[in-house]
Amino acid sequence: MTTPQVEAFLEMMAVERDASPHTLSAYARDLADAEDGLGPGGLMAADEAAIEAWFGGLAKRGLSASTAARRRSAVRQFYRFCLGEGWRADDPSRRLEAPKQGRPLPRTLTREEVEQLLGAAAAGDGRGGLRLITLVELAYASGLRVSELLALRVEAVHRDPAYLIVRGKGGKERLAPLNASAREAVKAWLIARDAARTPRSPDSPWLFPSNAASGHLTPRRFAQLLDQAAIDAGIDPARVSPHVLRHAFATHLLEGGADLRVVQTLLGHADIATTQIYTHVATDRLSQVVNRHHPLASED
């Protein structure tokens, strides 16, 4: 049962901080977990020892570091709110240290799997198949974020450019390369796209128009189309997503000997540390190749 203090906190998050329903639901679950785990009196009666014991028990329950970090954040924000309202004179969560989170390696695909995915996309019927193969070709050729890919305008590709000018995070512009295969896919898609227009309907400015509120294809729909293509290609769909194509772009560049700074620029990363995670994926792959094929690495 939600306490009046938690209800007031959630209302403040909704009204003053414009928290989304998803965020509010997560906060409510996290605070409910703390209420249940702290025993009689819950959050309002807990002292530092009780809060630290509850937090320390999260890992023993098998919760991930990211989940524990989110629950810590929810509890700390709740207590700051209570201090501001004068409901408590102390913050028993002040000594909670954030759990260390090992950064997971990005999921990616092998070059052979990308080829299989492209083949499955190309096997699709008519206009839908042409659209999907263009999406996959563009994502893999340029490393675009899914938001950047789906927000492409027709004017960006009408003159068959070798590079796209992309406005990424923070409004920063960068060049995204297009290989010959991606450019041919775009040409074929533009023909099919224009042929589907009706004389009475105005042309959409988007390269991949749809009936969605945004006017263009949504990330969710793109992910659904990729899931089906993965199934058709014999690949576990859990391993495939629009973002995985971006990971494959970066990983395969590094495996091919590309400079890390170049990959950073192409991905639009502000910090090279963000790009460096791909070196671990590439190194793991190269180690596997050496261990499999080098004569001195094989067992007698």
User: Which residues are designated catalytic?
Assistant: 145, 169, 243, 246, 269, 278
Residue where the block lists tokens 């395969």: 252
From residue 258, give the alpha-carbon distance in Å to each of 109, 205, 279.
18, 34, 11
CA-CA distance, 97 to 56, in Å (whole number)? 10
Q: Tell me the sheet residues that pair with 167.
A: 173
- How buried is 8 (Cβ within 10 angstroms: 0-12 exposed, 13-18 middle, 19+ buried)? middle
Which value, in Å, is the radius of gyration of the alpha carbons in the chain? 25
